[in-house]
Structure 1
Amino acid sequence: MTSPTHSAGPGQGGAPPGKLVFTTPAGGRRVASVRFGRESRRDRLLPQLIRNCLLDDEGQQCVQVRLTAEDAANPAARALLETETGTALHLHRLLGDTDYAPLFPRVVGHELDTAEPFLLYAAPRGIAAARTHVMAASDQQRFTRDLMTALCVLDGQGLVLRGLSPATVLWDGARVQLWGLEAVTRAGRPRSPWGRLPFCSPEQRRGEGLADSRDAVWSAAQVLYRLVTGRPGPADGAPADLGEHRVLDRMFRKAFDPRAVGRPTPAEVLDLVSPGAGDRIRLTVPADETRPHREAFEEALRLKRQAPLARPRDGSGAPSERGNGEVLCPYCLQTIQLDLTKLFVADNTMQYKQPLDVSGISNPVVLDDIMRGAVQKCAADPDFPEHVIPVPYLTNGRPLTVAMVGQSSTGKSHLLTQMIAAITDGGLEPFGLTWQSVNPEQHARFVRERVQPLRNGNVLDHTAALGLDDFARFVESLLITDARGQVRPVAFFDLGGEDLVRTDAALRFLLGVDALVFVVDPALALPLPELDHARQRWGVEVNRDGDLAFGTVLDRLPKNGPYLDVPAAMVLGKADLLRFRPPVDRWLSRPPATSLDAALVRAESRDVHSLLRGHAGQAWLRPFDAIRRCTLHIASATGGQEDRGRYPAGAGPRRVLEPLLALLAMHGLIDVPGGAEAFAVGEAPGFETVPGRRAPGSGSTAGGTADGTTGGTAGGAAGGESR
């Protein structure tokens, strides 16, 4: 990174004044007149540009880090800016006005969901160490103390700064300021090649193993050697002349070990520089306002565990199968069963008008192949427009019907599209599941009309209505094969929000639904200041009474005991609107799941429950309160908000498959410890081993979290690791 500089003052040969609109660290919106200075490449290997600017309304000097529209179209470039923004905002919240805040750049604002995203910092303090000649011995100890203190703060948050170099460490003669936050990753994440010789550790250079705070200790040792001697050190071990520099040798001899396991931690180096300094790092931990909400969640699970089952269930966890091989037609929503006299295949116009007679086919292989492409005309409802059902939907046992519930503004269609796309991309394979389209032609049309446009950055239109007063829209069906080789059709429906009509003719459909996904729109549920801008754009207001569609569905489902028995998942959708706010930031930054950890599912559920209970109120938690087995999740179908009708960098989904994985586990398609019945009510092994919050101290600067990771996040800290 090239260090910020004041050499080209705003308005001095820069761009003419204009307006800048951005979000402040507190979540508010600000419009300011701005004058820009000359622009330069932040680092020749990085896409970010940097320029000084002056906000005229307050005369505030800032530095803008931005991407051009061309660079911003690259998801990896956007991920770097997301990482930097998330890390900077997290440190802003964590450090406040403490003595540690000056060790890092101070955030002024950000605007990421736009064609040319940017981040604003307050004017930097000092000049890059790369521009400093040999450092005086009197400055070395202060410089080292500040640098290692900053690394201790990051280490306490489980963060590793991979890009530490003389270009990213600023020095004003009294204190250090650490830049290069785009290079932050989480400790324990796989290393990827990053940085330049000799400042990146050997393991990081090769992209081997897992990121470790001692990677940054190597970098710090190299920076100090450069400042003490005026030349770079060797890339794979200690400098030959290290012993000639007494202070440097005493503090960093072990730091040059080519393996992280042989190096000291940041706190251990700090203790060498200033004995006891690591133990003196204390950050004020705010009162835990989430505690009563977390306790309420645990109490709710306790009551659910004690409640008897409403009725016996089969091994899959689903209601008993209908007799005579009947299944629910995904179009007219009436029961239907296979009838070999009503089969058709497509003609040369791809219309299912050609009757199929299978009575003369004796070869079972040929018959199976023909039947896979065949359909049956459904006449269960003579008043419904003519429609056909793929034969595989009728011949693989009871279908699993998954219904998305919520108002039309919640983004259900985008979420469901990305959920199905994740399946077809192989997202179920780590769980022992494979998929096949029920109807290849229909699936190809779904990919062509829904998946591809969304991935290309287009905002999807509302799904076309398919009858029943716009109540239930059939979207897609797949054949899912589990690890035991058992095949089950899975049909996905989008239940209309405002169009949900409370009539038996429509709501009778709910009696056959096997799983529900309730999608919460944060703009409607959460009265948080960072959502005010979204509410203003969309013309909506906070609704304290919850989603009307939730209540309509819950009131119609059969209830034979204290709780409804249909498995459900609640999803805080459009979570990118809150991607820099805890606990959303922590979950959105996690990589996609490759195994189903009951403890993590419970931890995420507890965090979402606490967020909704603390800000939205109990009305928004009605599905969790009414349904015995209900998990809660955080997801974003697009990764960001649209700008002028498009997603500037395409739609990058985050955690869209996790709700479905939980439902499949509750239905027995994914094996989980303790069994499907115990999965969502806290009886599965591992639930009681979720780590609690640890108090800061002993060199630690922040508490752990419910998911066992350290608090906070680096925004998209796992992204952009291609360098």
Structure 2
Amino acid sequence: MVSPTPLGRPVSPGAPRPHLVFTDPAGRRRTTPARFGRASRRDPALPQQIRNGLLDDQGQQCVQVFLSAADAAHPAARALLDTEAGTALHLGRTLENTPYAPLFPTVIGYELDTTEPFLLYAAPRGTAAGRTHVMSASDQRVFARDLALALCLLDARGLVPRGISPATVLWDGTSVQLWGLEGVARAGRLRTPWGRAPFASPEQRRGEGLVDSRDAVWSAAQVLYQLVTGHPGPADRAPADLDRHRVLAGTLPRAFAPAAAGRPTPGSLLELLAPEEARRLRSAAPGDGTRPHQEAFARALEAKRRAPAPAEDTAGGASDGRAPGEVLCPYCLEGIQFDPGKLYVTDDQMLYRSLDLSRIGNPVRRDDIMRGAVQQCTADPDFPEHHIPVPYLTHGRPLTVAMIGQSSTGKSHLLTQMIAEITDGGLERYGVGWQSVNPEQHSRFVREQVQPLRSGKVLDHTSGLGRDGFARFVESLLLTDARGRVRPVAFFDLGGEDLVRTDGALRFLLGIDALVFVVDPALALPLPQLDEVRERWGTEVDRDGDAAFGTVLDRLPRTGPYLETPAAMVLGKSDLLRFQPPVDRWLGEEPPAAVGPDQFLEESGDVYALLRQHAGAAWLRPFDAFRRCTLHIASATGGRESQGRYPAGTGPRRVLEPLVSLLAMHGIIEAPGSAASFGVGREAQ
């Protein structure tokens, strides 16, 4: 984006107008000459700035809410602007062509993944309530009705506006328009301190408990009280003079209850203020266009539940013919067993020297040295010399996880962030700890992959996979479950489109314990907001699905109607669709505190419906092929890259959930019922 005028600097008469590039609410890109006035802080406590503008191609007046480059360097500031944009776009989409749309600001466009992100609104309608001096009793009733109606519309979508104040409620003489959408939070989330007295509720200011729609009722009551009386109310109780004001006396006493539980809901408040409007709102609930696709998901689940299970349930994948104690070498993909006569450690010059365990009598020192030791693998004499960390060979059969998808899907970013989240303690909430299999190897992975990505660098596409060109070993960790059992977990990046029909490839696939199919939204979903991404990457929508998915599925033998290996599907790069339902909801969901058999059922249904509605059946082949398969929404970066970097660094969102599902299916994460019963497609035992 070419910046408009510098802040506060007018354009000289006759000078060419700078152009503004942004995305409109329908997802189309728009370029227009633009000019802006001076900027000011909308709220001294918030980073967003605001200024009036004019879009010259249509002579359209607008308001730009934006972040300076300095403020945009802070993820929290970007998150506020993202919240505001997401809320405004969601309201605009769901209320379009209804009489309720004018109750909220109208979005013209946005550009958020840039150095100076911004949001464009149509010119506001009315004057802030704090500047309204005289209002008749009938206007006060309309004002109160509209404000309660706005709260009900937000509440119906699970949203709570925490920033209501006289400055954010506009009045044009006939109706209200509610601004301050940067303060919206989802009901049921943990409260964080927000707002100022008296307009923010006491528990909201303290940041105690869970966000509740009745928080906003307190705020609305305070705004209405100031409008009627001309002065603010008390910060923690009902005003003493409510009975003196007819508009307030019958409806607001309970709205000032010190705790949310004592206040009416937005719906109850609207019933008191305007019962006919409340009935009209209930009857105007929009239909759900995803319902047929959700019903198809339910039918698919029922078919899996009714299908006969194999004679012996193989939660860890099919037999691959390896001998007892033999594991898959992550480099040459041949079988290898622990051999204490082939161990090495590195010296000060980082050269391998032979390790003789017979000279080490102290068992503690021996175990410590063994953790940093490696074993030379000679299973394939034609493969270049390589060494395997000893802990990978001495804790039982490793659990192998393969990421599958074409090279453009962002698998490397997703897997890097997944591993980084584990090492940041992301699995501790489920009672699972971790250790590096090899400290030196892990340090190199952090240095070469995690740190550059987290600092905002786009990682290079992976190449030079394995011996047969289809599998690249990425990293391995030792996971310790709640019972103290230790198991190595190895992560592979699988270039499924490059699989060749060789015995080596088949043997590798038979030994895989869990598969993660990564869906590229630009390839799968013909949505207009992805057109610019497709144009930039030189790609097109592929109605036939990911070729890598098909290649892998065609190679895996099955003995019944379904494959038994645990699987997950991930709609990756979901930040590209962060304002598209249901992505907007799930990207903001917090990780679950515990895992149950139905933990991912609702998310799986939403992702299934999205893919079935827009992408088609070919993209759902993995879900249809595996008996147990969950579907997820995740973003490894949190935003789009620009010129090889992510302007505000990377903010991974929900990258661990697919792995949590797979680990629960394998029993590493404890879930109610047996491990074999966990996952979409099987009933709890």
TM-score using structure 2 length: 0.95
* CA pair 275-299 structure 1, distance change in 2 beyond 3 A: closer
Q: Are the aligned partners of 2:329 and 2:336 in contact in 1 as well (CA < 8 Å)?
A: yes
Residue in 2 aligned with 1:697? none
Q: Are the aligned partners of 1:313 and 1:320 in contact in 2 as well (CA < 8 Å)?
A: no
Q: Deviations over 1:532-561 (max 9, x none)?
A: 111011100011111111111112122222
Question: Cα offset for 1:83?
Answer: 0.5
Question: Cα offset for 1:599?
Answer: 2.4
* AA of the residue aligned to 1:140: Q
Question: Cα offset for 1:190?
Answer: 1.1
Q: Deviations over 1:231-286 (max 9, x none)?
A: 11111112233332232222211211111111122222222222333222146455
* CA pair 49-558 structure 1, distance change in 2 beyond 3 A: same
Residue in 1 aligned with 2:5? none
Gaps of 5+ in 2: 1-7
Question: Cα offset for 1:176?
Answer: 0.8
Q: Deviations over 1:74-98 (max 9, x none)?
A: 1100110111111101111111121
Residue in 2 aligned with 1:113? 113
Residue in 2 aligned with 1:308? 308
The 5 A counterparts of 1:254-273 are 254-273=254-273
Other structure's SS at 2:114 match? coil
The 5 A counterparts of 1:373-412 are 373-412=372-411
Residue in 2 aligned with 1:142? 142
Residue in 1 aligned with 2:516? 517
Question: Cα offset for 1:291?
Answer: 2.8
Bigger mean CA deviation after superposition, 341-350 or 287-296? 287-296
Q: Are the aligned partners of 1:517 and 1:568 in contact in 2 as well (CA < 8 Å)?
A: yes
* CA pair 98-282 structure 1, distance change in 2 beyond 3 A: farther
Quote the Cα distance in structure 2 between the aligned partners of 1:392 and 1:561. 36
Question: Cα offset for 1:568?
Answer: 0.9
Residue in 2 aligned with 1:706? none
Other structure's SS at 2:673 match? coil
Question: Cα offset for 1:598?
Answer: 3.0
Quote the Cα distance in structure 1 between the aligned partners of 2:230 and 2:117. 37
Q: Are the aligned partners of 1:304 and 1:681 in contact in 2 as well (CA < 8 Å)?
A: no
Quote the Cα distance in structure 2 between the aligned partners of 1:269 and 1:305. 45
Residue in 1 aligned with 2:28? 28
Q: Are the aligned partners of 2:406 and 2:548 in contact in 1 as well (CA < 8 Å)?
A: yes
Bigger mean CA deviation after superposition, 130-139 or 88-97? 130-139
Q: Deviations over 1:418-466 (max 9, x none)?
A: 0001100111111111110000000011111111111111101123525
Quote the Cα distance in structure 1 between the aligned partners of 2:515 and 2:64. 45
Quote the Cα distance in structure 1 between the aligned partners of 2:34 and 2:209. 45
The 5 A counterparts of 1:16-55 are 17-55=17-55
Residue in 2 aligned with 1:328? 328
Residue in 2 aligned with 1:370? 369
Gaps of 5+ in 1: 1-7, 687-723
Q: Are the aligned partners of 2:294 and 2:609 in contact in 1 as well (CA < 8 Å)?
A: yes
Q: Deviations over 1:192-217 (max 9, x none)?
A: 11111111111111111111111111
Quote the Cα distance in structure 2 between the aligned partners of 1:499 and 1:22. 38
The 5 A counterparts of 1:460-499 are 460-499=459-498
* CA pair 356-616 structure 1, distance change in 2 beyond 3 A: same
* AA of the residue aligned to 1:238: A
Quote the Cα distance in structure 2 between the aligned partners of 1:680 and 1:253. 49
Q: Are the aligned partners of 1:317 and 1:667 in contact in 2 as well (CA < 8 Å)?
A: no
Q: Are the aligned partners of 1:66 and 1:117 in contact in 2 as well (CA < 8 Å)?
A: yes
Other structure's SS at 1:674 match? coil
Residue in 2 aligned with 1:674? 673
Q: Are the aligned partners of 2:357 and 2:366 in contact in 1 as well (CA < 8 Å)?
A: yes
Q: Are the aligned partners of 2:678 and 2:684 in contact in 1 as well (CA < 8 Å)?
A: no
Question: Cα offset for 1:322?
Answer: 4.1
Matched, 1:129 2:121: no
* CA pair 139-300 structure 1, distance change in 2 beyond 3 A: closer
Matched, 1:85 2:91: no
Quote the Cα distance in structure 1 between the aligned partners of 2:418 and 2:103. 42
Bigger mean CA deviation after superposition, 674-683 or 68-77? 674-683
Which structure has more relative contact order (CA 8 Å, sep 6+)? It is: 1
Quote the Cα distance in structure 2 between the aligned partners of 1:451 and 1:482. 24
Q: Are the aligned partners of 1:13 and 1:38 in contact in 2 as well (CA < 8 Å)?
A: no
Quote the Cα distance in structure 2 between the aligned partners of 1:430 and 1:536. 41
* CA pair 268-313 structure 1, distance change in 2 beyond 3 A: closer
Bigger mean CA deviation after superposition, 434-443 or 54-63? 54-63
Question: Cα offset for 1:318?
Answer: 7.1
Residue in 2 aligned with 1:542? 541
Q: Are the aligned partners of 1:171 and 1:177 in contact in 2 as well (CA < 8 Å)?
A: yes
Percent of aligned positions that are identical: 71
Residue in 2 aligned with 1:596? 595
* CA pair 367-175 structure 1, distance change in 2 beyond 3 A: same
The 5 A counterparts of 1:613-632 are 613-632=612-631
Q: Are the aligned partners of 1:400 and 1:490 in contact in 2 as well (CA < 8 Å)?
A: yes
Q: Are the aligned partners of 2:333 and 2:504 in contact in 1 as well (CA < 8 Å)?
A: no
Q: Are the aligned partners of 1:195 and 1:205 in contact in 2 as well (CA < 8 Å)?
A: yes
* CA pair 681-466 structure 1, distance change in 2 beyond 3 A: closer
Question: Cα offset for 1:15?
Answer: 11
Matched, 1:416 2:415: yes
Residue in 2 aligned with 1:442? 441
Q: Are the aligned partners of 1:417 and 1:451 in contact in 2 as well (CA < 8 Å)?
A: yes
Quote the Cα distance in structure 1 between the aligned partners of 2:261 and 2:286. 34
Question: Cα offset for 1:147?
Answer: 1.0
Quote the Cα distance in structure 1 between the aligned partners of 2:316 and 2:623. 21
* AA of the residue aligned to 1:478: L
Matched, 1:432 2:431: yes
Other structure's SS at 1:470 match? coil
* CA pair 405-682 structure 1, distance change in 2 beyond 3 A: closer
Quote the Cα distance in structure 2 between the aligned partners of 1:339 and 1:482. 27
* AA of the residue aligned to 2:237: G
* AA of the residue aligned to 1:198: P
The 5 A counterparts of 1:194-343 are 194-282=194-282, 284-310=284-310, 312-313=312-313, 319=319, 322-343=322-343
Residue in 1 aligned with 2:654? 655
Question: Cα offset for 1:287?
Answer: 4.5
* AA of the residue aligned to 2:640: Q
Question: Cα offset for 1:62?
Answer: 0.9
Q: Are the aligned partners of 1:377 and 1:389 in contact in 2 as well (CA < 8 Å)?
A: yes
Bigger mean CA deviation after superposition, 663-672 or 503-512? 503-512
Q: Are the aligned partners of 1:318 and 1:667 in contact in 2 as well (CA < 8 Å)?
A: no
Quote the Cα distance in structure 2 between the aligned partners of 1:283 and 1:68. 44
Residue in 1 aligned with 2:4? none
Quote the Cα distance in structure 2 between the aligned partners of 1:498 and 1:316. 24
Question: Cα offset for 1:121?
Answer: 0.7
Bigger mean CA deviation after superposition, 80-89 or 605-614? 605-614
* CA pair 644-13 structure 1, distance change in 2 beyond 3 A: same
Q: Are the aligned partners of 1:34 and 1:55 in contact in 2 as well (CA < 8 Å)?
A: yes
Quote the Cα distance in structure 1 between the aligned partners of 2:532 and 2:268. 45
TM-score using structure 1 length: 0.90
Q: Are the aligned partners of 2:317 and 2:513 in contact in 1 as well (CA < 8 Å)?
A: no
Q: Deviations over 1:557-601 (max 9, x none)?
A: 222222222211111111111111111111111012322243241
* CA pair 676-582 structure 1, distance change in 2 beyond 3 A: same
Other structure's SS at 2:39 match? strand
* AA of the residue aligned to 1:268: S
* CA pair 394-198 structure 1, distance change in 2 beyond 3 A: same
Question: Cα offset for 1:682?
Answer: 4.2
* AA of the residue aligned to 1:573: G
Residue in 2 aligned with 1:709? none
